Amino acid sequence: MMSSDKELNSPRERTATIISKIHAASDVVELIMEINEGREAAMLGSRFSSPLPGQFAHIAVPGSFLRRPLSVAGFDDESGRLRIIVRRAGKGSSALASLPVGSSLNLLFPLGNPFPMELIESFGKVWIVAGGIGLAPLLFAARRASQRRLAVRSFVGFRDDTHVFGVEELEEYGPVSLVVGGVVTERLSEVMDREAPGLIFACGPAPMLGALRLVCAPRGVRAFVSLEERMGCGVGACLVCNCGIKSPDGFAYKRVCADGPVFDISEVGFE
């Protein structure tokens, strides 16, 4: 079964057209793209192009030499529409955020390993922990969990009011603790002291993920994190996007693109 699932979900080079663009927050833009092949597949009743929460698209951005990896923030199986949320961080992401509606893009997707959605059921609930633009892949995970009628509780941090996005959407799925200008893991820790935690899915800046590990480890709470690193090929061949992982020999590098981007927090070295 696993192999056929993998086949269904295998990466392909595809073209997509930006059909809508929303200013979500300061420096944050939400793009909806129509995947040409995805729509055809949807019409044929095939699911082979459907990405899963935690997977990413490797996008060729006009004017940039290297592709840019962007988390899938949503995908509609019916229409074959892909949702990407991008923060203007550097040259490539700014160029992508500046593309007008109607622009055509080349994407390689879906890539990477998804969040373990199937594990949520044994925990009964999922807790989302997000920092800033790290919320993008978690919106997709929260939506899919909610569609499966699983309990979702969210903890999201933003650096200031102007950067807040996605909170109303998260509230549709369950309670949300919003932290603006503070430390989201402190709020998480307080709630954990009085409430049994769910399985945690997290994404955000490295210091937040490091703090999350310190919150989870002593309590034996399981958490999966989506990591980010500058990327090359996106498929696991070039070995440039590595992150430090604990191994039986002490330490090893794993590929964020092909071994991740989702890792069990207990194996990641945030040093």
Partner 1 sequence: MSEKRFAAKDVLITDLCGVRLKNPLIAASGTFGFGREYDELYDISCWGAISVKGLTLHPRLGNPPSRIAESASGMLNSVGLQNPGVDVFIRDELPWLSARGLVVIANAAGSTEDEYTEVVRRLADSPADIIELNISCPNVKEGGLLFGTSPSCAGAITKAVRRVCRQPLMVKLSPNVSDIAGIARAVEDAGADAVSLINTLTGMLVDTRTRRPVLANVTGGLSGPAIKPVAIRMVRDVSSAVKVPVVGMGGISSGDDVAQFMIAGASAVMIGTANIVDPMAGPRILGEFERFLVEEKIDDLSTLVGSLKAK
Contact string (CB under 8 A) for partner 1, positions 98-117, x = contact:
----------x---------
Nearer to partner 1, 38 or 92 (CB): 92
Burial class (CB in 10 A: 0-12, 13-18, 19+), 214: exposed
Q: Does 235 bind partner 1 (CB under 8 A)?
A: yes
Nearer to partner 1, 37 or 229 (CB): 229
Nearer to partner 1, 216 or 225 (CB): 225
**Quick one: residue 239, left, alpha or beta (phi over 0 = left, psi -120 to 50 = alpha)?**
left
Nearer to partner 1, 27 or 76 (CB): 27
Nearer to partner 1, 47 or 230 (CB): 230
178 C-beta neighbours (distance < 10 Å), count:
16
Q: Cβ distance 254 to 227 under 8 Å?
A: no
Residue 270 makes CB contacts below 8 A (sequence gap 6+) with 206, 207, 209, 210, 213
- CA–CA separation, 112 and 69 (whole Å): 10
CB of 120 to partner 1, least distance (A): 28
Contact string (CB under 8 A) for partner 1, positions 165-204, x = contact:
----------------------------------------
Q: Which residues pair with 253 in a beta bridge?
A: 244
- Selection from 233, 8, 262, 247 nearest residue 114 by Cα: 262
Q: Does 210 bind partner 1 (CB under 8 A)?
A: no
Q: Which of 231, 262, 265, 268 binds partner 1 (CB under 8 A)?
A: 231
Q: Which residues would be at the binding site for partner 1 (CB under 8 A)?
A: 10-13, 60, 64-67, 91-92, 108, 229-244, 251-253, 258
